[in-house]
Structure 1
């Protein structure tokens, strides 16, 4: 009988423990990316969304343009060299017109200046190169601006959100619940996260494009040097 009583007490204690565990275990709530974006507030998230779309468009458009400008026909300079050595300046000029590339436009300016001092020819080619470089760098400053402005806009949203939270705490007569306080703070912090993400992506995209532009500039300089050496070969 005493043993049965102990078993009943032990079973009851396990039931109470199980019930207590069930009551203590909190309900887990998951947040999706969409929920986070929506909770950030439209007055900040919409400008950030616009900046992200602009940054993506600039990156894709400039990446394709720079990739096209970096392509160079390996036979182009060989043909130019043959025409110049044979004295076929018009043929060299015609080949440059038919070749749609940054390097062809630079060489065409040099071909048109053949017969003038080498310094004038080099200066003419460099001027065309500067114009081509300006075309390649279009909108890169906008991308750099987005990289710096997006985190600042996100931080502005956080400051505004915290001001709203503290204002609600001040005007609340019955006090503010911890759920409301934490929800307001989370909403304020979401804008900073969104701004930082957009800023980091834009910064990386900007540096990728700058690196590719530098490679094109190197090829432009190499092409210019090769052409100037070509003009001096007959005089040797």
Structure 2
């Protein structure tokens, strides 16, 4: 019985060898990246640059746009009580974009309302510029990465047909084998572009949300400053 089983086990292997069927190979990510060619190097650099900018800006924007509950109410109460220095110190200790805007606004109390409003707008624009720092690079990456991928694919296709012209051998295997490798750069470029594009707009949404909140808080603050003036005029 044992002697009969041994040849039976070898029959499947010999049959597969006779038919010439090779075992199925799985594509590994590292192998795909390596087959993409030299274009994958700048695409990889753009990928890591996009991730760095997205995460760095996300944590900065989240920290700088944080507003403690009751912050504006506390500032308004101090101003109404005449504690201007305390209000200014309270705003400075916040160490956020909102705190710096209100610190400058409180420091201008006594000037005409229009000047205080202009100060809020100017400082607000400066703070928005700080929040949006380096975000423009995400837009550049979103545009460049897909184009680099297409350049890699086109150059690879040119190389494939050049080799075919030299060897005078048109084979589907040769064309398909080289083409799928060169399409890797297009896929990688598109992925990096989508990541940069999505990150840019998500960060921009965070900044816009902060801008709306700042405008609402500034309106409430200016309204408090105008009430004493209106009461004096009524008398």
Is the structural similarity TM-score above 0.5?
Answer: yes
Give a deviation string over 1:27-52, Cα, whole Å, max 9, x none. 422111111111100x2000000000
- Between the two proteins, the alignment pairs up a number of residues equal to 218
* TM-superposed deviation, 1:176: 5.2
Give a deviation string over 1:63-117, Cα, whole Å, max 9, x none. 0011112210123222212221111111111212222111111111111111111
Matched residue of 2:217: which SS? helix
Q: What is the aligned-residue RMSD (CA, Å)?
A: 2.1
Matched residue of 1:129: which SS? helix
Tell me the equivalent position of 1:189. 183
Q: TM-score, normalised by structure 1?
A: 0.86
Question: Which stretch of the first structure deviates more once superposed, 95-104 or 147-156?
Answer: 95-104
Q: 1:180 aligns with which of 152, 174, 179?
A: 174
Answering whether residue 145 of structure 2 is matched by residue 150 of structure 1, we say yes
* TM-superposed deviation, 1:24: 7.9
Tell me the equivalent position of 1:202. 196
Matched residue of 1:234: which SS? helix
* TM-superposed deviation, 1:178: 3.7
Q: After the TM superposition, which residues 37-56 of structure 1 pair with which residues of structure 2 at under 5 Å, given as runs?
A: 37-41=33-37, 43-56=38-51
Tell me the equivalent position of 1:127. 122
Give a deviation string over 1:138-192, Cα, whole Å, max 9, x none. 111100111111111000000100111111111125x254433222111211110
Question: Which stretch of the first structure deviates more once superposed, 84-93 or 22-31?
Answer: 22-31
Q: TM-score, normalised by structure 2?
A: 0.86
Answering whether residue 214 of structure 2 is matched by residue 217 of structure 1, we say no
Matched residue of 2:228: which SS? coil
Q: How far apart, in 2, do the equivalents of 1:205 and 1:183 lie?
A: 34
Matched residue of 2:199: which SS? helix
Tell me the equivalent position of 2:6. none
* TM-superposed deviation, 1:136: 0.7
Q: 2:111 aligns with which of 111, 116, 135?
A: 116
Answering whether residue 215 of structure 2 is matched by residue 229 of structure 1, we say no
**Structure 2 unmatched runs, 5+:** 1-10
Q: 2:25 aligns with which of 29, 46, 59?
A: 29
**Structure 1 unmatched runs, 5+:** 1-14
Give a deviation string over 1:181-212, Cα, whole Å, max 9, x none. 22211121111011111111111111111111
Q: How far apart, in 1, do the equivalents of 2:201 and 2:144 lie?
A: 16
8 Å Cα contact 1:66/1:136 also seen in 2: yes
